[in-house]
Each structure stands twice: as structure tokens, then as C-alpha cells.
């Protein structure tokens, strides 16, 4: 699996922690889309990079991290074929994959501990989409007309 990860300054430390966890796993190819330090930056710049990579099929999935995860969620869901899910626990991570086939995981560094975040990532990566009735619902979402 190819995975893009990005964060603003509010999620930079957790991003580094998650990259280290994923590299220990060794099964996932991780591309770091920034930011590269704790200096203040604008979250839309980094959310866009990861969401575009997922939308264009450059990577299979993405992870975005900011202070709360709200801003990154808003940015990512503006892109075609992106289904970004803000997850705060194991259950929401599991359901985002099983029922929604989320291809971008969003987390907030200021609302999660590293241990919980690591569990969320592991669950999100390992959980498969169930398809069936859930695919029918995703198809309906795909038919919605974008707002102008």
C-alpha cells in the first residue's frame, strides 16, 4: 500500500510519530508531504497535497493531522474521490473503513494521545471495506451534485 501523510504545525509531532510506527511495520510505503517542522504554516496547503495525491491515484490512502482534525477534514473532502474521515477512537476508525471506505484518515494532535493515535492508524489500515449495501450508499454520494 502507498500512503501519503501530511500535517500542519499543529500536527507535526504526531505525524513524525506515525511515520516512525508505519516504517517499523515495513509493509506500507510512506510519503511525507510535510510540513517539516513546528513553525506555523497553513493547513490547507498540506491537506491539498495529500488529498490531490489520493484523488489522482498517486497513493492508495492518506493521513492528515492538524490541531483538531477539523480543518484538514474540510480541505480533503473538497477533492473528487476522497472520503476523509475524522476519527477520535478505534470504533470510528473501524467504521470509517468498513462502512465508508474512507481513503483519508484525519486526526487531531491536540485531542489525541500518541498511543490512541497509533491504535487508530493500525485499525484503519487493517480494516477492509465491507461493500454491499455500503457500496450502494457510496454510489449515491458519488451522484450528488457539488455545491457552487
Domains of the chain by start residue, with CATH:
2-142 (3.40.1400.10)
pLDDT given for residue 148 in this prediction = 52
Q: Which residues of the chain fall below pLDDT 70?
A: 146-148
Catalytic entry in 9, 88, 90, 99 = 99
> CA 49 to CA 66: how far, in whole Å?
14
Q: For the segment 115-138, what is each residue's pLDDT rounded down to a tens digit?
A: 999 999 999 999 999 888 999 999
pLDDT given for residue 144 in this prediction = 83
Catalytic entry in 66, 87, 90, 134 = 66
Active site residue 87: no
Q: Is 3 exposed, middle or buried (0-12, 13-18, 19+ CB in 10 A)?
A: buried
> CA 11 to CA 111: how far, in whole Å?
10
**Backbone torsions φ then ψ of 88, nearest 5 degrees:** -120, -5
3-state secondary structure of 61: strand
pLDDT given for residue 25 in this prediction = 77
pLDDT given for residue 141 in this prediction = 85
User: pTM for this one?
Assistant: 0.95
Alpha-carbon separation of residue 34 from 12, 17, 91 (angstroms): 8, 13, 28
Amino acid at each position: 500500500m502507498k500512503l501519503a501523510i501530511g500535517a500542519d504545525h499543529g500536527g507535526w509531532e504526531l505525524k513524525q510519530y506515525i511515520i516512525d510506527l508505519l516504517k517499523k511495520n515495513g509493509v506500507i510505503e510512506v510519503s511525507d508531504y510535510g510540513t517539516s517542522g513546528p513553525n506555523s504554516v497553513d493547513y490547507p496547503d498540506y491537506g491539498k497535497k495529500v488529498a490531490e495525491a489520493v484523488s489522482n491515484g498517486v497513493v492508495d490512502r492518506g493521513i492528515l493531522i492538524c490541531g483538531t482534525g477539523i480543518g484538514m477534514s474540510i480541505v480533503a473532502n473538497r477533492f473528487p474521490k476522497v472520503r476523509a474521515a475524522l476519527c477520535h477512537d478505534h470504533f470510528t476508525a473501524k467504521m470509517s473503513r468498513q462502512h465508508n471506505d474512507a481513503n483519508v484518515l484525519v486526526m487531531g494532535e491536540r485531542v489525541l494521545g500518541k498511543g490512541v493515535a497509533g491504535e487508530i492508524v493500525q485499525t484503519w489500515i487493517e480494516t477492509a471495506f465491507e461493500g454491499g449495501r455500503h457500496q450502494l450508499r457510496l454510489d449515491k454520494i458519488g451522484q450528488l451534485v457539488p455545491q457552487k
